[in-house]
Amino acid sequence: MDHDVEAEARERVARRDEAVRAAVEQGLLGPDAAVVGLLDVRGIRESAAALRTAFEAVLAPGTPVLHAFAVKATPLVPVLRLLHEEGVGAEVASPGELALARAAGVPAARTVLDSPAKTPAELREALALGIAVNADNPQELDRLDALVPARGAGGATAAPLRSPLGIRVNPQIGAGSIGATSTATETSKFGVALRDEGAREWVVRAYTERPWLTRLHAHTGSQGIPLPLLARGVAETFALAEEINARVGRRQVDTLDIGGGLPVNFAGEATAPTYARYARLLAEQVPGLRAGRYGLVTEFGRSLLAKHGTVVARVEYAKRSGGRRIAVTHAGVQVATRTVYAPGAWPLRIAAYDGEGRPKPGPEVVQDVAGPACFSGDLLAEGRALPALEQGDYAAALDTGAYYFAHHYAYNSLARPGIHGFGPDGAGGVAFATVREPQTVAEVVAESGGAHASALTALCTPGSR
């Protein structure tokens, strides 16, 4: 691990410890706010900067690059605004995500639409706004055909096409260690499966027949995909772009969208692998990328945010059951759904803090950290060696800035926790800013049909009058 990465990780831990302490002191966390999400603004800025510089370092100067944050990783408007300020756009995959990006002020020209199930209305809106679209399959390409204004004769009345358009391909390079996040398998639901019979030829012809197809997209996987496999996916995409351009006899494909998927180190503090390492590997494995012949779009999600988010939950009770030691906290399946349902694939590190939010000293004892939901499997961690968590302490689930607290799961009607960003207050302390208000019980009732309480009893029942 290089020195910078180590120092960066140490500073991140120090900032997190100070933030937990300050959150307790300032009452953001306590008996009446038993679980919160915290976001490290400085850390997010550092990751965005690391992403920019990593690719600048390996690409020819002046190569157009759009880093589009995969909004699904952390769908929070203030986060998207912060990233936008850091030069990072948005990759969206639903009307909701598009609306979030727009609410954050991300311009259409820095937005990419990628969902596997786009409706005609969504496609029409994207083209009207000038948002880039990657068609997932031949049927979607048919829909684009109908929307793209005809060039030349008869097209004069239609608005000009502003959206860069491309096709998403699946190079079918195989799975990583987590099936659910492996997108480039033989039978993946995403994109045009390139190795299927006739598929490659179909893709090449689709480009020769449509001069407006100028991008090529592949996102070959997320957490659990080894770097060399990610690089192979990019190499395959590059080779296909070269083949298309050779066939049409000009540089029609001018931009490669290489997707996201850089894995995150959930086993330790260090950022590993780094963007710098991935960019260098890409430059080695796909030397043609360096030449600047293609603009580049990236779609990183988890790797930009995961390390900068922490779920902190109060230990309501500490108990023993049949010799098992259990800390019952307020963070469980509602904020860490993947971990609770698939603990083998998504283990989380837990840090122990005392009732004042200070890191708890040892000795460590083996214990389970449970959530508040009413099923036995609602565990953040099982059999974990940690300083003994006692009533009134806090348990922090680390590396949860992506795909965790912004992905609330309403089990047991547990309310969405508040999310607070933190940074220095300028006087040696910590300042917080509300990113998302905690959900109130009244809001839980409202979204659970509260306005329709008599909807079912008012319906006629057979045999009654």
Ligand X SMILES: *Cc1c(COP(=O)(O)O)cnc(C)c1O
Which residues sit at the interface with ligand X, rule CB under 6 A? 70, 72-73, 91, 114, 219, 222-223, 259-262, 299-303
Q: What is the closest distance, in whole angstroms, from the C-beta atom of residue 139 to ligand X in the complex?
A: 18
Q: Give the residue nearest to ligand X (CB).
A: 301
Compare residues 300 and 353 and give the one whose CB is closer to ligand X: 300
Q: Are 312 and 369 in contact (CB under 8 A)?
A: no
Smallest gap from residue 303 Cβ to ligand X (A): 6
The widest CA-to-CA distance across the chain, in whole angstroms, is: 81
- Nearest to ligand X of 181, 245 (CB atom): 181
Tracing tokens 């995969």 back to the chain, one arrives at 70
The minimum distance between CB 147 and ligand X, in angstroms, equals 21
* Min CB(181)–ligand X separation in Å: 7
Least Cα distance to 164 among 138, 140, 206, 131 occurs for 131
Nearer to ligand X, 134 or 329 (CB): 134
CB 396, min distance to ligand X, A: 22
For ligand X, give the closer residue by CB, 50 or 352.
50
Closest to ligand X by CB, 43 or 418: 43
CB of 261 to ligand X, least distance (A): 4
- Rank residues 191 and 417 by Cβ distance to ligand X and give the closer one: 191
Q: Other CB atoms closer than 10 Å to residue 290's CB: what's the count?
A: 14
Distance of CA 345 to the CA centre of its chain: 17
Q: Which amino acid is at 268?
A: G
Q: What value, to the nearest 5°, has the Cα angle with vertex 207 and ends 204 and 209?
A: 110
**In the numeric block, which tokens belong to residue 232?**
């192979």
Local structure of residue 33 (DSSP, 8 states): B
**How far apart are CB 435 and ligand X at their closest, in Å?**
19
Taking the C-alpha atoms of residue 110 and residue 419, their distance in angstroms, rounded to an integer, is 26
CB of 19 or CB of 306, closer to ligand X: 306
Sort strands 324-329 and 309-321 into parallel, antiparallel or unpaired: antiparallel
Least distance from ligand X to the Cβ atom of residue 145, Å:
22
Buried b (16+ CB within 10 A) or exposed e, 332-367: bbbbbbbbbeebeebebbbbbbbeebeebeeeeeeb
Strands 418-424 and 324-329: unpaired
Cα separation, 311 vs 404, in Å, equals: 8
Nearest residue to 87 via CA among 47, 115, 129, 42 = 47
Cα 82-84-85 angle, rounded to 5 deg: 65
Residue whose CB is less far from ligand X, 126 or 351: 126
Token pair belonging to 447: 């979204």
* Tokens describing residue 455: 């909807």
Give the length of the chain: 465
Contact 393, 405 (CB under 8 A): no
| Smallest separation, CB 87 to ligand X (Å) | 17
The nearest distance, CB 462 to ligand X, in angstroms, is 46
CB nearer to ligand X: give 226 or 450.
226
For residue 270, give the 3-state DSSP assignment.
coil
Indicate the residue among 231 and 328 with the shorter CB distance to ligand X.
231
Joined together, the tokens standing for residue 85 give 């300020």
Q: In angstroms, give the least distance from the CB of 32 to ligand X.
A: 34
Q: At what angle do helices 77-85 and 41-58 cross, to 10 degrees?
A: 40
**Of 163 and 222, CB closest to ligand X:** 222
